[in-house]
């Protein structure tokens, strides 16, 4: 041992001498580290020591242990093995649904006590700020998909309360597509990529989804929400959130009150147009995530009001629908939403994987004073979420290990997942379906032979696989939702259905979907059939329960909830060499005074304004399309404008903004670009000198323009 210590000392001394001879300082401890033949000083005292996961300080993190200078690497190099092994296992399975997500930290503050209804301190102690972690997500796409497809958005909030964690796990729609958790795997299998071809990714415009929809009329209410402009939101900061299900509040006396939860964005609701959403996917795959990140970094913290709908068992019994049916909402005209708190998101996660990816939400995470209802979908979610999180650390296919595998024939629609060792064939992985005639045969339920639970208490109180007759009406609320939209919103909804069904290759599925739509409204079905070019209307599929009319609910419209504001919006000003800097400043100051963010776009990264002043652009014209902004303006020298009128990027910049119904401030020179794009200016196109008029127009879309641009159903 003494000799080894002495040898180490000599080696250290030689390293010091060698470093000094090379004109480089030795490490403070007398050793020199070699990295690619170059000696570097270790800056001790300024940075923490690099260690293994076991806390062992590393002397060299650049070179593996070798038998000699050019010899083989040694297996005993525990530092190399730990580093490589950890790297090899850095990824975990992504979520089955809601894989693509963005999240932020913040706080919840109660503004009105609900102590009359619940003992939950979160909802009784006014003024207390409870930390939260909120995750927004798309449903259908994988973790690597884009932010802006037509889809449901998850809205999940984890409250870190003094009584434990409370998870409110919902969506930006108040209703779901199915009534019973038994159908959740079928619904998701149908909307996901078709199993025999692996596409489409993050889209519902395909056969298996609409096959399921056309065979499952309970889906139509949520489908209407998804096909409306709410399915393509402008920003995560501009969506509502809903708990979807009825829950129970329990007060100190043990009395129960039903509750439904609502989140209302302070910025109001706003969507994109379909063409805009399509182009956003090409312009910025991370549009929503970037918007949320930049808002928080800029101190424009996203905020939502928190509201509740409260009602008794007796009131629920009087509703013209069953409140335990998750495909039904409770109109606010029937039960008003009371605002009782607010949520502010003010801090971006420090590490995406450690927080946003690994956060685990579960509807079963409750605190005293809040309880479940008998909503059958909610009951299934209580199990599903925990199971999902467990599977992300392992895999659900353990039954395929030989010792676990059945010895009898088996067939179901479970597919894929970690360690899948069978090779399922065919297009269909859901039930009911109508596509297995040209695919591999699929399983069917067998009432005569199937397993049944023992019914200890015959009658309505016993355990049975059954749906209440009060769940049978699938069409009244889709009709209510449609009738509550503006004519433009109705046209967008129907155009979305026409587009999606146009992607369906099986004529029978298109016909069956239109047949189901006839139960909602004949005019809706006719307009969709006309959009698809159907020669004749398909026969009506007899509903389990006929639809009835309900008074339109303004609360269900998106345009009605839009705010004429520039808060949270972004305006672009196009400039080039020779632009009038004073006019640019006037537009910028006016827009920022109204709460808008302003970006400068130019053909070059830096331009010389009139008078010679240099101005740096926030984006180059070719890579900064107008779909990224809520309104646009241009201040161009006529000669520069003429040159730009011959560039496709400039023409498309204005043509897209005009087609997406945005306000445009176009100077005299810009008129040349508009003409090149075939744009005939309307009331939504003004001169940039009319600053106040442009700012007023920029607060809303120019809805009257749409009828002149595109034919809608």
The catalytic site residues sit at 98, 171
CA 584 to chain centre: 35
| Residue 141 and residue 152 in contact, taking contact as beta carbons nearer than 8 Å | no
Measured between alpha carbons, how far is residue 24 from residues 19, 512, 516 in Å? 5, 80, 81
Q: Please name which of 182, 188, 217, 156 lies closest in space to residue 379, comparing C-alpha atoms.
A: 182
| Dist. CA 87–CA 107, nearest whole Å | 34
| 18 Cβ contact partners less than 8 Å away, ≥ 6 residues apart | 32, 39
Name residue 108's beta-bridge partners.
Answer: 130, 343
Mapping DSSP onto H, E and C, the string for 587-614 reads HHHHHHHCCCEEEEEECCCEEECCCCCE
| Dist. CA 357–CA 99, nearest whole Å | 8
Q: How many CB atoms are closer than 10 A to CB 434?
A: 15
| Dist. CA 660–CA 701, nearest whole Å | 8
| Dist. CA 355–CA 359, nearest whole Å | 6
Phi then psi dihedrals of residue 377, to 5 deg: -70, -40
Q: Please name which of 352, 376, 329, 368 lies closest in space to residue 477, comparing C-alpha atoms.
A: 329
Q: Please name which of 411, 322, 327, 379 lies closest in space to residue 182, comparing C-alpha atoms.
A: 379
User: Is it true that the peptide bond before 432 is cis, omega within 30 degrees of 0?
Assistant: yes
Q: How many CB atoms are closer than 10 A to CB 569?
A: 22
| Dist. CA 435–CA 27, nearest whole Å | 72
Phi then psi dihedrals of residue 389, to 5 deg: -65, -35
- For the four alpha carbons of 585, 586, 589 and 594, in that order, the dihedral sign comes to negative
**DSSP-based helix, strand, coil % in the chain, nearest 5:** 35, 15, 50
What is the residue whose two structure tokens read 């304004």?
609
Q: Please name which of 276, 273, 246, 272 lies closest in space to residue 261, comparing C-alpha atoms.
A: 246
């Amino acid at each position: 041992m003494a000799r080894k210590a002495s040898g180490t000392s000599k080696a250290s001394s030689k390293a010091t001498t060698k470093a000094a001879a090379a004109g480089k300082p030795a490490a403070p401890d007398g050793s020199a580290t070699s990295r690619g033949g170059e000696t570097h000083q270790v800056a001790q005292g300024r940075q923490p020591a690099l260690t293994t996961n076991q806390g062992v300080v590393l002397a060299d993190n650049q070179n593996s242990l070798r038998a000699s200078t050019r010899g083989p690497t040694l297996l005993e190099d525990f530092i190399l093995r730990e580093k490589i092994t950890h790297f090899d296992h850095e990824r975990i399975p992504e979520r089955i649904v809601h894989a693509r997500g963005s999240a932020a930290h913040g706080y919840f503050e109660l503004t009105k006590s609900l102590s009359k209804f619940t003992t939950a301190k979160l909802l009784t102690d006014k003024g207390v700020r409870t930390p939260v972690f909120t995750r927004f997500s798309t449903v259908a796409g994988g973790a690597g998909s884009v932010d802006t497809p037509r889809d449901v958005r998850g809205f999940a909030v984890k409250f870190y309360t003094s009584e434990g964690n409370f998870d409110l796990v919902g969506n930006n729609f108040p209703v779901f597509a199915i009534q019973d958790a038994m159908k959740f795997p079928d619904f998701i299998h149908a909307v996901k990529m078709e199993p025999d071809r692996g596409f489409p990714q993050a889209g519902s415009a395909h056969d298996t989804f609409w096959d399921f929809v056309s065979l499952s009329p309970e889906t139509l209410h949520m489908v209407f929400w998804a096909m409306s402009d709410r399915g393509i939101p402008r920003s995560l900061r501009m969506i509502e959130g809903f708990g979807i299900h009825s829950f129970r509040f329990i007060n100190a006396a043990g009395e129960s009150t039903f509750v439904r939860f609502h989140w209302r964005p302070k910025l109001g609701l706003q969507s994109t147009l379909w063409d805009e959403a399509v182009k956003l996917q090409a312009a910025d795959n991370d549009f929503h995530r970037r918007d949320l990140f930049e808002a928080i970094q800029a101190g424009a913290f996203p905020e939502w009001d928190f509201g509740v709908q409260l009602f008794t068992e007796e009131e629920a019994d009087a509703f013209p629908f069953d409140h335990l049916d998750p495909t039904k909402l409770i109109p606010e005209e029937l039960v008003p939403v009371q605002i009782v708190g607010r949520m502010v998101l003010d801090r971006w996660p420090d590490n995406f994987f450690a927080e946003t990816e690994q956060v685990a939400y579960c509807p079963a995470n409750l605190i005293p004073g809040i309880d479940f209802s008998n909503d059958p979908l909610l009951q299934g979610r209580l199990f599903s979420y925990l199971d999902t999180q467990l599977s992300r650390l392992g895999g659900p296919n353990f039954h395929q290990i030989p010792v676990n595998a059945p010895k009898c024939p088996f067939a179901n629609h479970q597919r894929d997942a970690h360690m899948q060792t069978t090779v399922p064939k065919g297009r269909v992985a859901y039930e009911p379906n109508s596509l297995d005639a040209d695919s591999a045969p699929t399983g069917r339920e067998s009432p005569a032979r199937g397993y049944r639970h023992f019914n200890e208490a015959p009658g309505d109180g016993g355990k049975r696989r059954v749906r209440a007759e009060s769940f049978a009406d699938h069409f009244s609320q889709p009709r209510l939702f449609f009738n509550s939209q503006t004519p433009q919103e109705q046209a967008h909804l129907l155009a979305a259905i026409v587009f999606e069904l146009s992607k369906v290759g099986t004529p029978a599925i298109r016909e069956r979907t239109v047949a189901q739509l006839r139960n909602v409204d004949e005019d809706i079905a006719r307009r969709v059939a006309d959009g698809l070019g159907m020669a004749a209307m398909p026969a009506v599929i007899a509903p389990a329960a006929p639809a009835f009319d309900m008074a339109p609910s303004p609360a269900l419209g998106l345009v009605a909830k839009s705010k004429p504001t520039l808060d949270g919006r972004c305006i672009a000003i196009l400039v080039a060499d020779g632009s009038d800097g004073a006019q640019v400043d006037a537009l910028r100051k006016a827009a920022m005074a109204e709460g808008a963010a302003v970006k400068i776009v130019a053909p070059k990264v830096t331009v010389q304004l009139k008078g010679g002043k240099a101005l740096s652009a926030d984006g180059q014209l070719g890579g900064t399309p107008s779909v990224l902004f809520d309104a646009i303006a241009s201040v161009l020298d006529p000669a520069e404008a003429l040159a730009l009128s011959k560039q496709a990027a400039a023409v498309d910049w204005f043509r897209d903004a005009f087609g997406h119904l945005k306000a445009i401030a176009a100077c005299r020179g810009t008129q040349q670009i508009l003409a090149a794009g075939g744009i005939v200016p309307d009331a939504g196109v003004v001169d940039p000198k009319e600053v106040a008029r442009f700012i007023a127009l920029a607060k809303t879309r120019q809805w009257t323009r749409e009828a002149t641009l595109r034919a809608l159903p």
